[in-house]
Amino acid sequence: MIFPDQANHYGTLFGGSGLGLMAKAAFVAATRRARGAVVMARSDKTDFHTPVRVGELLDMAARVVRVGRSSMTVEVEATAEVLLSGERRPAMLGRFEMVAVGPDGRPVPIAREY
């Protein structure tokens, strides 16, 4: 749910807050795939389709769309929902490059199968 502390002066989700939420969803999807520590290397092409108002839900769906040796691309789709009516609409779409890292912070290989 979007709360006032995440909003701009228009009463809609602040872009930076939206990016932060998407980055967390990308982190979870990448960690599940790598089954280890991951960090973000890049956020790439985030589209904001419609404003998300305070009090609306923001449903995040993150999926790994590419796996390399130590990096992966995660696509995150955010859908806004009016809680009382159930009306849903696409809100944001972004891509994130995540890298699996070892205890020393250096890239490590990602298992091809899991």
Is residue 114 within 8 A of residue 35, CB to CB? The reply is: yes
**C-alpha distances in angstroms, 32 versus 3, 22, 54?**
28, 16, 30
Residues 6 or more apart whose CB falls under 8 angstroms from that of 99 comprise 38, 39, 40, 41, 70, 71, 72, 107
Q: What pLDDT is recorded for position 114?
A: 58
Mean pLDDT value of segment 36-62: 97
Residue 32 has pLDDT above 80, yes or no: yes
pLDDT tens for 60-85 read 999 999 999 999 999 999 999 999 99
Which domains, ranges and CATH numbers included, belong to the chain?
A: 4-100 (3.10.129.10)
Q: What pLDDT is recorded for position 22?
A: 98
- Which tokens is 85 given? 């009516």
Residue 113 has pLDDT above 80, yes or no: no
Mean pLDDT value of segment 22-28: 98
pLDDT tier for residue 112 given thresholds of 50, 70 and 90: confident
Cα separation, 85 vs 81, whole angstroms = 8
The burial of 61, by beta-carbon neighbours within 10 Å (0-12 exposed, 13-18 middle, 19 or more buried), is given as exposed
Residue 51 has pLDDT above 70, yes or no: yes
Position 86, amino acid: G
